Structure 1
Amino acid sequence: MVSFDSKVRSFINEHELIQQGDRLLIACSGGMDSMGLLHFFLDLRNHIKFEIFVAHVDHMLRGDISFHDLQFVESFCKEKGITVFSKSIPIPKILEEEGGNSQAICRRERYAFFKEVMEKNSILKLVTAHHADDQLESLLMSLTKSGSLSSMKGIYPKRTFSFGTIIRPFLPVTKDEVKEYLEEKGGTYREDSSNAKDEYTRNRFRHHIIPLMKKENLNVPQNAVQLTTQLQEDDDYLYQLASEKFTQVIRKDEEKYVLDIPNLKSEPVSLQRRIIFILLDYIYDNSEYSNSETLVKSIINLCKTEDGSATIYLPNQIVANRRYSEVSFEREVTNHQNIEITLNLNKWNELKNGVRLYIGDVSNGTKSKESSNQTVYYFNSTEYKAPFRIRFRKEGDRIHLKGMESPKRLSRLFIDEKVPLLDRDRCPILVDDNDTVMAVIGIREGKNISKIQRAQDDIKFIIEYNNI
């Protein structure tokens, strides 16, 4: 029987995860998996010369208990002479301000800290304790959520992160094997009580679905690793082929990309999809839109015919225009007034798509009775500073809504209000001279704006929809 140590070392060698002289940042929560990882690398350091650093994040979700986790990790590292970087991040406060999925926000903030530590200390590799059970959980969760190939590939042994890489040397071993290894080393760990809660999706899979699968076959986690490895290898090869075909299908023409429909259609469907994914990566610079299956489907549908012309609007003011056998991708052609409009007071201001906006003194005689195509709002001039402008959203925009202690991110507002992905970058935003978001026109208004005129209100604004 192959030992735990041999399995992991063989995996490290196969994927070339570690070299002599590496500086490694080990992500350590203090739990069983990460403490097993830390013990393993302390032993491995006797055979390969490298430096170990540890990063720990207290998410402040469990009060004193999570702070004691931090102290546990710091104490262990001090005993072993390891430099540790630790940080307490107020996740409850961030959740209050933004809403959203707590685990996703924890991960975002945690990895932002890891990135910061790596960049400040010239550490090129982040080591995490993901194992075979994690791979199985990720595979099943992806199948349940979307079933897209990009998500079904699961966790890679290594991937680019910051200016370095993340490596996962424990992928070939199971959680039970990690536990057994840690016990053999006489290691201790901290138990996270949140792991027992079924309110998290991953925990429901871990507690209920995977035990049933293991009753059928104890080797199901290893099978998941084998399957995802094959998917990763096959997909990487197909992407290599798509990259070679890319310039035959897509050309860069000054400030736009042009897709040749006949050349795209001449390729197998598997390559068509990947060519478009590569195009999206160029357009969106590896952002959240680069891996959007929805955008790929929209573009493929646009290319189904070469008759006449058609247009689809993509995020960030990118427009795909089909003209017969070609599709051009470029930033939406608008004049400066449509990008940012300084509003005239006490006059009607023309926006886009038949929308007009009036903003001015309450005493002005302009019609202010709400009708089927008009909505009237009021606010006090001391709350917002003129001049007022209309613009599109920017990164980091927030709006302070009624009933909320802190402002809410517009990205979360759009999700909560079910605004279609392709429409979010074209929603007009009303801001004041300090760039404070007063309202997202047609969606929500800030806490200081009311549909009912109050005694202190001396400004009104009216939205008129003439395309109704």
Structure 2
Amino acid sequence: MSLELKVKKTIEKEQLLQQDDHLLIAVSGGVDSMALLHYFVKTKDQWGITVEAVHVDHMLRGEASAEDRAFVQKYCDEYGIYLYAKAIPIPEIMALENGNTQLICRRERYQYFKEIMEKTNASKLVTAHHADDQLESVLMALTKNATINGMQGIRSQRIFEGKTLIRPFLTVTKSEIREYLLKQGLDHREDASNYKDTYVRNRFRHHVVPLLEAENPRVTEQVTHFTKQLQEDDAYLMNLAEDVFSRIVKRIDENTYSMEIKAHQLEPLALQRRLILILLNYLYKDSNTIQSYALLTSITKLFDTTAGYAEVHLPENFIAVRRYGKFTIQKKETIEGQASPEKKIISTANGWTTLTNGERLCVVELPDLSSIMLTDTAQLFYFNASKLKLPLYVRARKEGDRMLLKGMDRPKRLSRLFIDEKIPLNERNSWPLLISQSEEVVAVIGVRMGMLFSTSPQPNDDTVLIVD
């Protein structure tokens, strides 16, 4: 099957193009991108699209880099394609940042692509990733972290800065691309750095892939089918996980989420992992962070048990905490810098009240309980309203606070209770307490309930506190 037919089938099957699309094609001057550009130059009328090109000179190879730009410009002039081009001083940026060359190049290159897409209102960015790139990506992911996301390799399309990035060449091999360009009578530029083993991808390309191809010449094609199946299966499981996520995960604010560990444990393992991945996608933009096997594993361990307190410190100052059957993830400064919560009234008329630790409280009269929509994680505590002196309030701890617990003759100091219950020192002063109108502490929310509450209704109980 010819390259043209393969690409056409991919575009149609994956619905990569729509009528009147404005394509911005990333062109380095190498064999892959020149073939990509030429394919769309030849077929743009067939697809009913507009085609423009974009080129970045990273200024890493002196005169050779400048010649790449001139080469691409000559082609575009000959075929009537407008070219947006920019020289970015990567060596200077590297000297300032002392970072990874490839990562800096990619960041700066895609930042320029974003600028041009906004300037031209292009609908899609097009890159020349192909089947050989897919094979190399899977091999690299396998040796690096082997996460579900990593093993799915490169996708044929993804969201890019509110627009779409497409890869129409993902089912064709490097050799097919070279053959196509040769038949078209076109030249290309060779980047000398592609032959060096300095970069990980080059080492796989030069040494690992040839061994696999010697065992099976169609290994690239088979990996393409493999990644596609993984992507389809994962899409289905992620849809299931999204439904579960919306049901059991509470979003307190943009940096704070919580869930009951038992609810997480009840889900199949395949969905448990994906629930954490969804959470990481909300918190982080960097794909390397989201796909980190070490990060995923460390968070997963918090769900092994509901007992005790444990925490995991995460990138960008986040912290994941297991505490008394609940998992919470939030910014550390949110915890450490919390001011004491204002005094909040909890009455039978105010509906749900959300606390600083993510808990929700609601007080209802017993006859009205049936009208409340309860989640699987909701806890019910029954009491007699006359004994607790409604309304109830929530506030932070004060010096000398005590609470009377069942089975005790004297109230227990909260400072001692926090120690016994292993509440972290930096959270004790902001921990929400439930108090009566007479300023008596009647519950430490999420830790211990006072003696006037029961988990089953007693003869004189007329009111229910719902903790969720």
Q: CA deviation at 1:21?
A: 0.4
What's the TM-score, normalizing by structure 1? Answer: 0.69
* Distance (Å, rounded) in 2 between the aligned partners of 1:257 and 1:10: 43
Within 5 Å, give how 1:12-23 maps onto structure 2. 12-23=11-22
Q: Secondary structure at the match of 2:45?
A: coil
* Distance (Å, rounded) in 2 between the aligned partners of 1:331 and 1:198: 40
Match of residue 306 from structure 1: 306
Match of residue 279 from structure 1: 279
Structure 1 residues 137 and 258: CA distance shift in structure 2, 3 A = same
Q: CA deviation at 1:288?
A: 5.5
* Distance (Å, rounded) in 2 between the aligned partners of 1:52 and 1:254: 42
1:214 equivalent to 2:216? Answer no
Q: Which amino acid aligns with 1:92?
A: P
Within 5 Å, give how 1:26-425 maps onto structure 2. 26-253=25-252, 256-284=256-284, 289-332=289-332, 333-335=335-337
Structure 1 residues 317 and 44: CA distance shift in structure 2, 3 A = same
Match of residue 381 from structure 1: none
Structure 1 residues 321 and 149: CA distance shift in structure 2, 3 A = closer
Q: CA deviation at 1:315?
A: 3.2
Q: CA deviation at 1:101?
A: 2.2
Q: Secondary structure at the match of 1:47?
A: helix
* Distance (Å, rounded) in 2 between the aligned partners of 1:308 and 1:216: 52
Match of residue 368 from structure 2: none
Partner deviation per Cα, 1:49-93 (whole Å, 9 max, x = no partner): 111110101111110011000011111111111111101111111
- Residue segments in structure 1 that go unaligned for 5+ positions in a row: 338-468
Q: Which amino acid aligns with 1:204?
A: R
Structure 1 residues 112 and 285: CA distance shift in structure 2, 3 A = closer
Partner deviation per Cα, 1:197-245 (whole Å, 9 max, x = no partner): 1212211211222122212222111111111111111111111111011
Calculate the aligned-residue CA RMSD, in Å. Answer: 1.9
Q: CA deviation at 1:174?
A: 0.7
State which structure, 1 or 2, has the greater radius of gyration over its C-alpha atoms: 2
Contact 2:146/2:293 (8 A) holds in 1: no
Contact 2:147/2:292 (8 A) holds in 1: no
* Distance (Å, rounded) in 1 between the aligned partners of 2:36 and 2:96: 35
* Distance (Å, rounded) in 2 between the aligned partners of 1:196 and 1:121: 35
* Distance (Å, rounded) in 2 between the aligned partners of 1:312 and 1:35: 47
Q: CA deviation at 1:192?
A: 1.1
Q: CA deviation at 1:285?
A: 5.7
Contact 1:25/1:118 (8 A) holds in 2: yes
Partner deviation per Cα, 1:386-406 (whole Å, 9 max, x = no partner): xxxxxxxxxxxxxxxxxxxxx
* Distance (Å, rounded) in 1 between the aligned partners of 2:314 and 2:191: 42
What's the TM-score, normalizing by structure 2? Answer: 0.69
* Distance (Å, rounded) in 1 between the aligned partners of 2:170 and 2:54: 20
Q: Secondary structure at the match of 1:61?
A: coil
* Distance (Å, rounded) in 2 between the aligned partners of 1:199 and 1:331: 38
Quick check: which one's helix share is greater?
2
* Distance (Å, rounded) in 2 between the aligned partners of 1:148 and 1:254: 28
Contact 2:145/2:293 (8 A) holds in 1: no
* Distance (Å, rounded) in 2 between the aligned partners of 1:330 and 1:40: 48
* Distance (Å, rounded) in 2 between the aligned partners of 1:97 and 1:210: 36
Q: Which amino acid aligns with 1:138?
A: S
- Residue segments in structure 2 that go unaligned for 5+ positions in a row: 340-468
Deviates more, 1:91-100 or 1:286-295: 286-295
Structure 1 residues 26 and 295: CA distance shift in structure 2, 3 A = same
Contact 2:147/2:291 (8 A) holds in 1: no
Contact 1:118/1:124 (8 A) holds in 2: yes
Partner deviation per Cα, 1:329-360 (whole Å, 9 max, x = no partner): 233322499xxxxxxxxxxxxxxxxxxxxxxx
Structure 1 residues 225 and 55: CA distance shift in structure 2, 3 A = same
Q: CA deviation at 1:143?
A: 1.2
Contact 1:249/1:263 (8 A) holds in 2: yes
Question: Number of matched residues?
Answer: 336
Structure 1 residues 6 and 113: CA distance shift in structure 2, 3 A = same
Q: Where has structure 1 moved over 6 Å in runs of 4 or more?
A: none
Q: CA deviation at 1:261?
A: 0.7
* Distance (Å, rounded) in 1 between the aligned partners of 2:55 and 2:124: 15
Q: CA deviation at 1:12?
A: 0.4
Structure 1 residues 319 and 14: CA distance shift in structure 2, 3 A = same
Structure 1 residues 287 and 7: CA distance shift in structure 2, 3 A = closer
Q: CA deviation at 1:320?
A: 2.9
Match of residue 399 from structure 1: none
Q: Which amino acid aligns with 1:334?
A: E
Partner deviation per Cα, 1:397-437 (whole Å, 9 max, x = no partner): xxxxxxxxxxxxxxxxxxxxxxxxxxxxxxxxxxxxxxxxx
